[in-house]
Amino acid sequence: MDGFGPLGFTPESLAQESLRFQSKLRAGLDTLHQVHDIDYGATAREEVWRDGKVVLYRFRGERAPTAKVPLLIVYALVNRPYMVDLQGDKSIVRGLLERGEDVYVLDWGYPDRSDRYLELEDYIQRYIGGAVDHLRREYRMEEVNLLGICQGGAFSLCYAALNTHKVRNLVTMVTPVDFHTADNMLANWTRGLDVDLFVDTLGNVPADVMNWCYLTLKPWRLFVQKYVGLVDVLDDAKALEDFLRMEKWIFDSPDQAGEAFRQFVKQFYQGNGFIKGGVDIGGRTVDLRNLDMPVLNIYAEQDHLVPPSSSKALAGLVGTDDYSEVSFKGGHIGIYVSSRAQREVPMAIHDWLSQRSR
């Protein structure tokens, strides 16, 4: 016998763990007094274009960009885009700027009841299209580089397929393409949703409903484990600030414009439109075979929201011969904020774009 019994602990070890836990809690009270309002963003930015609540920001690095073609980042609707510039040591934007890219980010804002009837055409052709056209005018060029992330990647695929003459290079990151893969739990849930009843009842879809859906995909990890782990950093002010900043991002979620939500669920989650056809944006059919520009697809190997199988389906759908894939050893959130991501992701994007500059 090793003295620990069948459960692997003794009364003495339990007492020691209890004392450690109490010590951490006492230290946490002092640490919380040191933590002020948690803000986000590491990089200077300026508003350069606006359409209603939607704003285009240009980000400024410590040196002037060397890239001749601007890079427009399009994020998902369900979370705020400051995930790509969360803090100084967790910023995809900063990594791109340091490598000479000229970075713009589209901020969707917070939809309210006046946006209830916005459609996918508004988000894709009006807002992304408006931002692209602004950059084309400012830089006096026909094409810009486009980086779409998650749902923003699906939007970017649609935009680029419908406006091939305006996109020079297309990068997609953790982007769902095949919505009916067996390992896509979120898609399996959504296929059974009566989305007409859902939207007709709620109007805009509340952010809390969306957050609950995402959190319940990993209930133990996201409801219990991470908060138990919080105890370990209660005496570390910086680590606690990092934790709170991430929590702020998770729960700082906009409502979803009802009509656009209805269309996205029907055409993508239920209809699997990229694979089966039937994606209609303002009366125009999206065909990914029209994508004749270079395409880089980055996916996360442990992604529970967009499984690799969903993202990698893009390879067989595009019309270009210049298609590349990069895998990242991490999850859907880690691809933005982990130390590995800061080393690998901006460099992969920059190197790929540099090889195709002309």
What residues are labeled active site?
150
- Three-state DSSP class for residue 63: coil
CB atoms within 10 A of CB 28: 17
- Whether the CB-CB separation of 86 and 245 falls below 8 Å is answered with yes
CA distance 213 to 269: 14
H or E, element range at 186: helix 185-191
Q: Are 166 and 142 in contact (CB under 8 A)?
A: yes
What is d(CA 147, CA 349) in angstroms, rounded to the nearest whole number?
9
Q: Is-contact 100 67, C-beta < 8 A?
A: yes
Q: How far apart are CA 335 and CA 350, in angstroms?
A: 16
- The phi and psi torsions of 179 (rounded to 5 degrees) equal -90, 0
SS3 319: coil
